[in-house]
Each structure stands twice: as structure tokens, then as C-alpha cells.
Structure 1
Amino acid sequence: MKKEICILFAFLMLLKLQAQESDLDLVQLDKTYKESTVDSIKVKAMLALGEYHLDKNFSKARFLIHDAFSILQKEENKNNLNALANAYSLKGIIARREGHHVQSLDNYFKSKTIYEQLKDSINISSLLHNMGMVHRYNKDYRKSIPFYQKSIAIKTRLGNQTYEIASSYNMMGVSYKGIKKRDSALWCYNKAIALFTSIDKEEDIYRAKNNIANLYRIDKKYEEALEIYFESNAYYKKKGSVISTANNLYNISTVYKDLKQYETAMKYADSSLSISKAEGLKGRISKVYLRKSFLYAKLENYKEAYNYYRLFNRTSDSLFNIENIKKIQELELTHEFEQEKLGLELEKKEIKALAKAETFKKRLYLLLFVLALLTAGVIWFLVRKIYKGRALIISEKLEKEEVQKELLNQKIKAKEGEIKSLIADNSMRLSFKEELLQQLKSKATGTDLGTLKQSLDSLIKDLQSQINTESKFSLLQSKVDEANEGFDAKLRRLYPELTKTEREICSLLRLNLSIKEMMTIRGASLDAIKSVRYRIRKKLSLSPKEELEQFIQNL
């Protein structure tokens, strides 16, 4: 017995320590949020606090998340993609709980786009779950189920996602209930409870149990349903989970409605409405208005029934089903009868007020239409003016480029002429060397000294002439480099695999030199030049139909 007491005491102490640790984390986050001057650190703390308060204090969560998003809209913070994606996701949850389903999906899609860019599969799977929630809230149950299934598949593949998988099973069960697949719903709920239990998530276990209680209520097992609801309600109040409390009170109201205990049902509906208004839960507020309308009708207070129906009609973003429409029409007829008893004058005043409001609305629409036309005209004029300005700038730019291109072509042609002239001189130099060699051989054989001296003097003059020709050839490479100024650097940037020799051949091709002229400049054989040309074509990935010279000159 003592051993069991010690074990129980140790377990309670562990829970207390965990709670204290959690409180310390919240205190640290709150301190960071209030004191940090670094936007990235401050925003991270705000989003974490906002996510924590979603079920505890919805109004505070909304403020923190929206304020964090405003900070992220600053130009210097727009590269903080993780925080921005998280903010969009949390804004989606806020909008969904407020009943703004289109806005919610829009935020989810923006968040998903960023997470896909970051290749963050974990958060993508969470967004798929949340998108399923939007479709479920919009009563498009069949469309929501594939979102949950995709989310579960990704989380299962990633591993270590027990809580998220359990949450998706729980919500998928709600969707199955919506399409009246009771067995599938119950299987999902039990699967969720088993997973939540394995990781000791007590609050989520109660949420799944509440969903089973909803099935009990449908099966008219009211006592079993109420037992779970009241147990859950006590837990939610203890934990301060206001949203779960509001939903649970509404569920209790539903049971008493089914039991035809309308006064008791009204009491729980009022409690749910009070919390929902305080937290700004528009979707829940709308449902409670409809519930109170129904209950007042059953209590034969048709005036209040009609008033709450009108409140419901203003806040609801969904259509009633046929059965509810018939009930609403009945309430309207009953209300008209009561109005006649109270006096026709009041009805006439209301009709006049409605007619006046309708007239004002039409005038307002007309004014807005005229303003829209004027705005469209101004925008069209500005766009046309901007377009013309841009077209003029582009035209002037093209003209300048054409002039520069023409000047460059003229310069290249001039350099090409100079180089060809130097090549011709170089060819003459080679011919002269060969002739000189022959003269030396012939005159050195069998010639007396006097004649040899005269021959040498003649050769010296020829050599002096050749030196002048050599000086011209020394200009050849500088002329080639000048004509191809910047071209070698461009080749290195575009085609780094080209060797120095291949780049030099490209430079000569750019000057439209023939293979023979290249042989003369390079002092290379025909086969060597052809081999280099072949390697260049291969590295430039040219097709057989493309001309190498044309391609090089177009670079």
C-alpha cells in the first residue's frame, strides 16, 4: 500500500513539475515578446504565444497573431519566410473560427506556397488538415475527407507525428458523421483516442470523446452523451479552454433540445453565446442564434424567435436546408400575426424605413458605379501614358544599340583589313627567308673572298629590309587583341571549357579570317587548325547545319 502511495505521489509531483516548466516557458515567451528589440526574435515569441492562446484566450491570440503579421510586412522582415508562412497559417485559423472561410483558405494557400518553396513537408501536411477543416465548417464534408487523408499520409511517411495524425483522424470522423457514415466516424474517433492516449494528450482525448457523444446523441442515447459532455465541460473549465467550453455547452443545449427540455436548453445556449461573443467566434454565434430562435418558437415566444432568426440571417454565411427554411417561414408568418395584434402602424413604419433604406442603397450603388467608371478611365489613361513612354524609351535604346553595332562592325572590318595586310607581309617574310637561305648556300660554295664580300653586303641590305617587315608582324597579335577586346573574357564566361588555344582560334574566326590565314598567323598545319575547329564546334554544341564562323560573329 505504501509503495502504491509513493508511486502516486511521484506521478503527481512529475505532473506538477511539467506544469511549472510549461508556465516558465510561457513567462519567458511573454518576456521576450515585451522586451526584445529584434523583430525576428519578437515575432517568433508573438506567434508562439498566439498559437498557445488559440484555445485559451482567442481575443489575445487574434491580437498577437495580427500584430506579428504587421511586423512581418515591413520591408526588412519580408525574407523571414518561416515566420511569414507560420503567420499566414495562424491567420487562416483565426479567420476560420470567425467564420470567414474564403479568407481562411486564402491565408492557407499563401502559407502553403511558402512552405512548398521551403520544402517543409511537416507544415504542408498541417495546412492540408486545416484546409479540410474549412471545407468541414462549410459543410462540404465529402470534399474535406481527401484533405485529411493526404495529411495523414504525409505525416505517417515522415514519422514522429502522432499528435497531428490523431487530430486528422478526429476531424475526419466529424466529416464522416456529416455524410451519415456512422461506423467510419466511430472508427476514426477510436483511432484518434488511442493515439492521443499513447502520448498522454488529455484535452484532445476529451475532444474525441465529445465527438463520440455526438454519435450517442444521434442514436438518442442521451444519458451516455450527457455524461461525456458534463465530464468534458468540467475539464475544459479547469484548463481554461474557452473555445472548447463554448462548443461543449452548445452540444449540451442540443441534447436538452432533443429531450424537449427547452428552458434548460436555452440556459446552456445562452452560456455558449456569452463565451462566443467574448471571443468573437462568429460561426458559433450564428449557430446559437439559430438555436435560440428555434427554442423561443417552441416556447411560443414568436417575437424573440423572429428577432433571433434575423440575427442569425445577418451573421450566417451558409444557406438553410429545406426543412429549416420551412420552419423559418412558419416563424415569419407567426411573427406577422403577432405584429398585426400589436398594431398595423408599427408595421407601416418598418416598411417605410425599409423602402428608404433600399432607395439609399440604390443611390449608393449608382454612385459607386460612377466612381468605378471614373477610376477605370483614369487607370486606362495612366496605363496608356506609361506604355507609350516605355515604348519610346525602348525605341531610342534600340536605335542607340544599332548605331553602336554599326560602329563596331566598321571597326572590326578596318582591323580585319590591317590584319590581312600584316598576314600578306608575313607570307612575304617567309618567302624571303627561303630565298635568302638558297642564296647563302649557292654563294658560299666555290666563291672567292672579294665576290663573297660583295654578296654579303647585298644580303645585309636585304636583311635590314626584312627587319622592317618583322616589325610589322610584331603588330599582328596586338591588332588581333585590339579587334577582339573583351571577346576573350566573354568566351571564358559563357564557355569555360574552351582552352586558351581554342579561344584564340575563336578570336581569329570572329575576324572572318580563312583557314590559310590562320595557319600563317598560328604557324600551324591545316590538320591542326581543322582539329581545333572540330573541338570548338563540339564544345559549343553546334548542329551540323550551323556555321561556326556565323555563330562566333553573333556572340
Structure 2
Amino acid sequence: MKKKVQFLYDCGEFFYSKNVNKSEYFYREALALTEGTNSLMEGRVLFKLGFVEKNEGNLSTSLRYFNKAKEIFKDKNDIERLASVYFDIGYVYRYKNQMDVEYDFYKKGLKLSEGGSETLIGKGYLHLGNYYTLLKKLDSSIYFYNKALDVFKKINKDNRIYNVYNNISNTYYKQGRYNKVISIRSLVLKYAKKENNKLLITVNYHNIAAAYRQLKDYKKVKKYLDSAILVAEEENFKLRLSKSYNSISKISYSLKDYKEAFLQQQKYKIFSDSIFKSQLSNTIEEVELKNKHKVEKKNLEILNQEQAFDKKLYLSIILVFLLLGIPLVILLYRNSINKNKIIQSNLEKEKIKKEVLLQKFKRSEIEIKSLVADNSMRLEFLKQLLLKLKVERKSIDSVDVKNYIKDLTFKIQQQITTEIKLSLLKNKIDVINDGFDNMLIANYKELTKTEREVCALLRLNLSVKEIASIRNTSSDAVKATRYRIRKKMNARKDQKLEVFIQNLKI
């Protein structure tokens, strides 16, 4: 078993910088064999999966893996790996914009690294350089980058040396030294291609494009962004795809290619939404796991109380037989007290379950508000784009260009109208169907999620065509769903299904 796990781990290591999907597959296979063993190998696998999830933009999942690995390294007293995981947890908090927490983990990592591995110390200096770059304290940033560079040059760590160069270029960018940025990042890009490090390749393509954008060399900007997207698509780097599509949208807008700007903004929206929903889903999962742990803990307490009660009961019976003078009333009284305790414990258990449900509702409310806010931002972008097009149309003499802009303006206006209608319809569904889905789950357990959603739309008295349009499906599919709903709810054939559903009491 140990040899198989080691083989799977080594395969994951081999593919990590070459094919992330294959690397993740081998790490997860290794985790399936080690999960729950609290072994050092389980910690190492969790640590690597934390990196994979971070690169895919799943920050909450990444933190969960890192924290599990941290507890195992702490339990095994593996100081070097514990210090390393502290650095990487801090780096995740950087992306979550929690800079105080980020700095605390860097300090913990450096403290553990003292007198140990020089590679680890250099890694700590590198993270501090990044931290001060974000704070715009560029002198401090350069100071720590140079310390890291000295350490890695001393021990001939090429991959770390180029990593430092990569970060020094960020500082030059903030200082406006764009030619210097292009020079350093081109050097790092050459190294990344040599090592076939896909993530480093796409990051450097993107950042070289950013430098050329500042120099207004838009042809090269487009060239490098296209290369960044090509690599990111191959490896499914959602975070990198989101950033690159957003950059292309802005460049197209600057060049007055409004149609391209709009299309690229839609692609950016798809990937940014995907990352947001993934993070939100992982956050809800974390809350559920914590509350599940509370419930399990409470169940254990109840079980211990019941066992204690049984012991007391047996002891009381023995004493009755030994003393022959203990009244039966005392036994019954004790029995009553312990039963009341168990009932109280059960009530507390139910209370915790209600808290879990309440937190789910709150998370759902947060998701809805975030999506509404995102929809408002998208509407504002479309309105600004529409206004800009109208202004540009007046200043252009070409009839063909004017007609093209008029056609594009009409399409964007239609998009704005559709977005507003969908927002109003969503609000109406939320208000009218409050508690309706829970009632269906409780009383009609055979209904699927899709069938419950169609029930909610039927309750609004929407037609088959309207429901098909909202759900992006065919009218025949909606009719088939209606037939299954009527059958599962035992609705009378002589009564309209919409009327039957509207008469249901919540």
C-alpha cells in the first residue's frame, strides 16, 4: 500500500508543471488511499492539492486542504513542512484580500524557518517582498526580494531565482519601468518554456502584455494575451482566463472595437461567475461541515449521558437489592430527572439543526445579493457602451459604419431590456415563492429539483412558451415535465395544473 501511494504521489509531482489535470488525478488517487490515516504522506498529498485548487481559483477549498495538512505536520512535528504550509496559507489570504492574516502567517513561517532550510528562508523573504509590493512600499519590497535572490543564488536554485525575477518585475511595473519589465519577464518566460511550467508561462504572457499596453503597443498586447489564453484554456486555469479576457475587453474598448469589447466582457463574466460560485459553494460547504461537527459532538454528549444514566440505573437496582430499604420512589425520581435531561439534549440538537438551516438561508441570500449586484454592474457597462456608440455615430461620416453602429446599438438595447426583465422576474419569483419550495419538498418528495422549479413558474401563471424561454429549453420538454408533475401530485384531470398549484397552501 505504501509503495502504491508513493508511486501515485511521484506521478503527481512529475505532471505538476506539465499537465495539471493529470497531476490532480494522481494526487486524488493517493488521497483516497491515505485519507483519515493522519500520516505524513496524507499531509503531503493534501498540501499539493491545496496548490492545485489555488491555481484553479478555488481559494476556500485550497485553504481547507492547507489547514488539514498544517494540523498533520504539526502533529508529526515536521517543522520544515509546517513552515512551508504557513507561507502558502498566507499567500491564499493575499488573494482573499485579508492582508493582516496574510502577514501573520508569513511571520509564523519565518520564525519556524530560523536555523533551518535556506530554501524555506528564501521563500519567506519572497512572500514578504510580495506583501510589501501590495502595500506599495516598494523600497521594502525590493529589499526582501534581493535577500531572497541572494539565498537562492547561493544554493543554485534556478526555479526560485526566476520566481524572484518574476516578482521583481512586478515592482518595476509599479515604478513605470515597463521596458525593464518586458526584459525580465521575457527571460522568465524562456525559462518557463524550458521547464514546461504552464502556469508560469501563461502568467508571464499576460504580464508582458500588460507592460506593452502601458507602452501603447496594442498589436503586441493582443499577441501575448492570445498566447496566455491558449495556454490557460489547455490547463483550465479559470482565474488566468478571467484576467486575460477582461484585459482584451479593455483593449478592444480603447481601440473603439465595441463589438469585440462586448464579446470579451461576456467571456470574462462567464469565468468570473464560475470562480465566484465555486468559492461561495465551498464556503457554504465549510459552514455545513462545521455545523455537522457540532451536531455529531452533541450526539456524542447525548450518548455519554445515556450511558451514564444506564450506569446509574444499574447501580440503583443493585443498591435496592443490597439495602432492601431504599424506596422505589427515589429510583423513579432519578429516572425522571435523567429522561428530562435527554429530552433537553434532544431539543438542543434540534436547535443546532435549525441554526444550520438558517445559515444556509443566509448564504443563499448573500449569493442572490451578489448576483443582483453583478447584474447591475453588467447593465451599467452596457448602458455606458450604448451611450458611447450613440456619441461616436454622430461624429462618423461613413453611412456603412453608421448603419453598423445603429445595428449594434439596437442589439445592445435589446440585451439591456432582456436583463431588466429577467431581474424583475427574478425578484417577483423570490417574493411570491418564499417558502414554496420547502413546502413541495415536505409534501411531494418524489418531485425532482427541475420539476419543483417548473412548479414555481406555474405558480406565477406563466405559459409553456414563457417557461421554455426562461429555462432555455423546448416547449415539448416543458409539457413533458408538466405531465410528470400532474401525475406525481395526483392533480385531477378536470382541473388546470396552474390552478391546482396556486391553491396549495405554504
TM-score bracket, shorter-length normalisation: 0.5 to 0.7
| SS at structure 2 position matched to 1:238 | helix
- What is the alpha-carbon distance in structure 2 between the residues aligned to residue 254 and residue 260 of structure 1? 10
| SS at structure 1 position matched to 2:18 | coil
**What displacement does 1:183 show?**
1.0
- What is the alpha-carbon distance in structure 2 between the residues aligned to residue 107 and residue 243 of structure 1? 20
Instruction: Report the counterpart of residue 95 of structure 2 in structure 1.
Output: 137
For 1:198-347, list aligned pairs within 5 A: 198-316=154-272, 329=380, 332-335=383-386, 338=389, 341-342=407-408, 344=410, 347=413
For 1:62-81, list aligned pairs within 5 A: 62-73=24-35, 78-79=36-37, 81=39
Larger Rg: 1
Decide whether aligned partners of structure 1 residues 375 and 111 sit closer, same or farther in structure 2, where only a CA change above 3 A counts.
Answer: farther
**What displacement does 1:335 show?**
4.3
The amino acid of 1:221's aligned partner reads R
| SS at structure 1 position matched to 2:211 | helix
The answer to which of 137-146 and 200-209 deviates more is: 137-146
Decide whether aligned partners of structure 1 residues 70 and 252 sit closer, same or farther in structure 2, where only a CA change above 3 A counts.
Answer: same
- What is the alpha-carbon distance in structure 2 between the residues aligned to residue 346 and residue 79 of structure 1? 57
| SS at structure 2 position matched to 1:79 | coil
| SS at structure 2 position matched to 1:139 | coil
Instruction: Report the counterpart of residue 106 of structure 2 in structure 1.
Output: 148
For 1:29-428, list aligned pairs within 5 A: 38=1, 40-73=2-35, 78-79=36-37, 81-157=39-115, 159=116, 161-316=117-272, 329=380, 332-335=383-386, 338=389, 341-342=407-408, 344=410, 347-348=413-414, 351-352=417-418, 355=421, 359=425, 370=436, 372=438
**What displacement does 1:53 show?**
2.9
The amino acid of 1:149's aligned partner reads K
| SS at structure 2 position matched to 1:334 | helix
- What is the alpha-carbon distance in structure 2 between the residues aligned to residue 49 and residue 235 of structure 1? 23
- What is the alpha-carbon distance in structure 1 between the residues aligned to residue 245 and residue 88 of structure 2? 26
Give aligned pairs, total: 330
Decide whether aligned partners of structure 1 residues 315 and 343 sit closer, same or farther in structure 2, where only a CA change above 3 A counts.
Answer: closer
Decide whether aligned partners of structure 1 residues 332 and 196 sit closer, same or farther in structure 2, where only a CA change above 3 A counts.
Answer: farther
Query: Any conservation in 1 of the 2:379–2:416 contact (CA below 8 Å)?
Result: no
Decide whether aligned partners of structure 1 residues 335 and 89 sit closer, same or farther in structure 2, where only a CA change above 3 A counts.
Answer: farther
Query: Any conservation in 1 of the 2:53–2:61 contact (CA below 8 Å)?
Result: yes
- What is the alpha-carbon distance in structure 1 between the residues aligned to residue 379 and residue 216 of structure 2? 19
TM-score normalized with structure 2 length: 0.58
**What displacement does 1:206 show?**
1.2
**What displacement does 1:230 show?**
1.3
**What displacement does 1:96 show?**
0.8
- What is the alpha-carbon distance in structure 2 between the residues aligned to residue 71 and residue 284 of structure 1? 32
Instruction: Report the counterpart of residue 433 of structure 1 in structure 2.
Output: none
**What displacement does 1:103 show?**
1.3
**What displacement does 1:376 show?**
8.1
How big is each residue's C-alpha offset from its partner over 1:499-555, in whole Å with a ceiling of 9 and x where there is no partner? xxxxxxxxxxxxxxxxxxxxxxxxxxxxxxxxxxxxxxxxxxxxxxxxxxxxxxxxx
**What displacement does 1:180 show?**
0.3
**What displacement does 1:327 show?**
12
How big is each residue's C-alpha offset from its partner over 1:402-423, in whole Å with a ceiling of 9 and x where there is no partner? xxxxxxxxxxxxxxxxxxxxxx
Decide whether aligned partners of structure 1 residues 282 and 369 sit closer, same or farther in structure 2, where only a CA change above 3 A counts.
Answer: farther
Query: Any conservation in 2 of the 1:262–1:298 contact (CA below 8 Å)?
Result: no
The amino acid of 2:54's aligned partner reads R
How big is each residue's C-alpha offset from its partner over 1:316-349, in whole Å with a ceiling of 9 and x where there is no partner? 3579xxxxx9999566512466575436367447
**What displacement does 1:372 show?**
4.8
Decide whether aligned partners of structure 1 residues 372 and 201 sit closer, same or farther in structure 2, where only a CA change above 3 A counts.
Answer: farther
| SS at structure 2 position matched to 1:56 | coil
**What displacement does 1:68 show?**
2.1
Decide whether aligned partners of structure 1 residues 243 and 366 sit closer, same or farther in structure 2, where only a CA change above 3 A counts.
Answer: farther
**What displacement does 1:357 show?**
8.6
- What is the alpha-carbon distance in structure 2 between the residues aligned to residue 64 and residue 122 of structure 1? 24
Instruction: Report the counterpart of residue 308 of structure 2 in structure 1.
Output: none
Decide whether aligned partners of structure 1 residues 232 and 328 sit closer, same or farther in structure 2, where only a CA change above 3 A counts.
Answer: farther
Decide whether aligned partners of structure 1 residues 128 and 365 sit closer, same or farther in structure 2, where only a CA change above 3 A counts.
Answer: farther
- What is the alpha-carbon distance in structure 2 between the residues aligned to residue 231 and residue 279 of structure 1? 22
How big is each residue's C-alpha offset from its partner over 1:390-412, in whole Å with a ceiling of 9 and x where there is no partner? xxxxxxxxxxxxxxxxxxxxxxx
Q: Identity of aligned pairs, percent?
A: 25
**What displacement does 1:45 show?**
2.1
What is the alpha-carbon root mean square deviation over aligned residues? 3.4
- What is the alpha-carbon distance in structure 2 between the residues aligned to residue 243 and residue 170 of structure 1? 18
The answer to which of 112-121 and 326-335 deviates more is: 326-335
**What displacement does 1:117 show?**
2.6
- What is the alpha-carbon distance in structure 1 between the residues aligned to residue 435 and residue 34 of structure 2? 35
The amino acid of 1:267's aligned partner reads K
**What displacement does 1:352 show?**
4.3
- What is the alpha-carbon distance in structure 2 between the residues aligned to residue 358 and residue 47 of structure 1? 51
Decide whether aligned partners of structure 1 residues 335 and 180 sit closer, same or farther in structure 2, where only a CA change above 3 A counts.
Answer: same
Query: Any conservation in 2 of the 1:166–1:196 contact (CA below 8 Å)?
Result: yes
Query: Any conservation in 1 of the 2:106–2:124 contact (CA below 8 Å)?
Result: yes
The amino acid of 1:334's aligned partner reads L
TM-score normalized with structure 1 length: 0.53
- What is the alpha-carbon distance in structure 2 between the residues aligned to residue 71 and residue 361 of structure 1? 47
